[in-house]
Amino acid sequence: MSSPAALELTLPAKAENVAIVRHAVAGLAEALEMRPPNVADLKTAVTEASMNVVVHAYEDAEGPLEVVAHHEGDALVVVVRDFGGGIRPRAEDERHSLRLGLPLIAALTDSFAISGGPGQGTEVRMRMALLRNGNVPARLEEIELPVGRATEMSMPAGELLAPVLSRVISILAARANFSIDRLSDAVLLGDAISAHAPDDFPGGTARIAVEESDGSLTVKVGPLVEGAGDRLLDGMRIPQIGGSLERLADEIRVVEEDDGEHILLRISRLHE
């Protein structure tokens, strides 16, 4: 990819997944100190572009919705793309509109562009000013994200990871009908995982997969350098109360894969 990416998401193009996209992008925007009115407009524009993918991109089969967000100067750029039929003429009664919500997106963002064609998929690129008081994060490495069935994210480890992961876990836990207490447990565990030092991730990039299944969430984070997984588990201990955040999870362990260590966390709606 040609842009330094701060966040990448790939997930099935389903209506229920649009909320995940909206909350993930909003979490990143808030972490970069975008003004609240701009965050609200950004969420609406991203929702409109994502719903276009859900409704129009794939006629006969389920395909991926891909979202990439990165800072560019004093703005946040968000790209929403699909790999479906692309921009093409509609039925006669739709000839005056592409049904892409372009006027709304144009009104809410500082600039936008749309590209694609028959058989090429469609890409909507939006730009929104941050107008923040904080510092622009350091340049981020280019990263690739494979398409998968789970919600997959890839972004720099560090201070931006926690707010994005927290919002994604929250919306998935709410969708799985977690109680308020279990939703809170899930967010606490997500925050603990996010507390890893950037040096624990090769290249400073964290890859996260979150999957909702049968009333539980499974989160996998990695790859990590050797020993980092055990350090995370040690860091979850709370000596003052003689316990550990591990008790909030139904399962949490370190797994070895070809690219390094990964933390695997499972938390269910009903604690086992």
Question: Quick one: CA dihedral 212, 213, 219, 223, positive or negative?
Answer: negative
Percent of all residues in the chain with a pLDDT value above 90, rounded to a whole number? 5
- Pair (78, 209) in one structural domain: no
Verify that 204 and 236 share a domain, yes or no.
yes
Q: Which of 137, 171, 195 lies at the terminal end of a domain, its last residue?
A: 137
Q: Is the confidence at residue 68, as pLDDT, over 70?
A: yes
79, pLDDT greater than 90 = yes
247 assigned to some structural domain: yes
Write the pLDDT tens digit of every residue in 223-264. Answer: 888 888 888 777 776 654 445 677 788 888 888 888 888 888
Here the CATH number for the domain that contains residue 254 is 3.30.565.10
Does the pLDDT at position 135 exceed 50? no
pLDDT at 74: 85
Q: How many residues does the chain have?
A: 272
The CB density around residue 54, as the number of other CB atoms within 10 Å, is: 17
Q: What is the DSSP string of the chain?
A: --S--SEEEEEE--GGGHHHHHHHHHHHHHHTT--HHHHHHHHHHHHHHHHHIIIII-SSS--EEEEEEEEETTEEEEEEE--SS-S----GGGTT--SS-HHHHHHHSSEEEEEEETTTEEEEEEEEE---SSPPPPPPPP------SSEEEEEESSTTHHHHHHHHHHHHHHHTT--HHHHHHHHHHHHHHHTS-GGGSGGGEEEEEEEEETTEEEEEEEEE-TTHHHHHHHHTEEGGGTEEGGGGSSEEEEEEETTEEEEEEEEESS--
Q: Which of 94, 152, 82 is nearest to 124 (CA)?
A: 82
Q: Kindly tell me if the per-residue pLDDT of 77 is higher than 90.
A: yes
Residues 133 and 161 grouped into a single domain: no
88 or 138, which is more confident: 88
pTM: 0.66
pLDDT confidence bin for 80, thresholds 50/70/90: very high
pLDDT of residue 78: 94
The residue with tokens 């390094």 is 260
Which position has the higher pLDDT, 164 or 127?
127
Tokens 């979850």 sit on residue:
236
Q: What is the pLDDT confidence band of residue 173, given thresholds at 50, 70 and 90?
A: confident
- Chain segment 112-124, per-residue pLDDT in tens: 888 876 677 888 9
Residue 133: is its pLDDT beyond 60? no
Q: In whole angstroms, give the CA distance from residue 267 to residue 25.
A: 24
Instruction: Check pLDDT > 50 for residue 3.
Output: no
pLDDT digits 0-9 by tens, 188-213: 888 887 776 778 888 778 888 888 77
Arithmetic mean of pLDDT over the chain: 76
Which has the closest alpha carbon to 109: 63, 168, 45? 45
Q: What is the pLDDT of residue 32?
A: 86
State residue 213's pLDDT score.
78
137 pLDDT band (50/70/90 cuts)?
Answer: very low
Residue 132 sits in which domain range?
A: 1-137
Q: Looking at the structure, tell me whether residues 48 and 126 fall in a common domain.
A: yes
* Per-residue model confidence as pLDDT tens digits over 16-51: 888 888 888 988 888 888 888 888 889 888 988 888
Kindly state whether residue 151 falls inside one of the protein's structural domains. Answer: no
Residue 66, pLDDT score: 92
In the block, tokens 């409109």 appear at 48
Kindly state whether residues 124 and 187 are assigned to the same domain: no
CA angle 225–231–235, rounded 5-degree value:
145
Q: Which position has the higher pLDDT, 89 or 71?
A: 71
Q: How many independent structural domains does the chain possess?
A: 2
Residues 132 and 176 in one domain: no
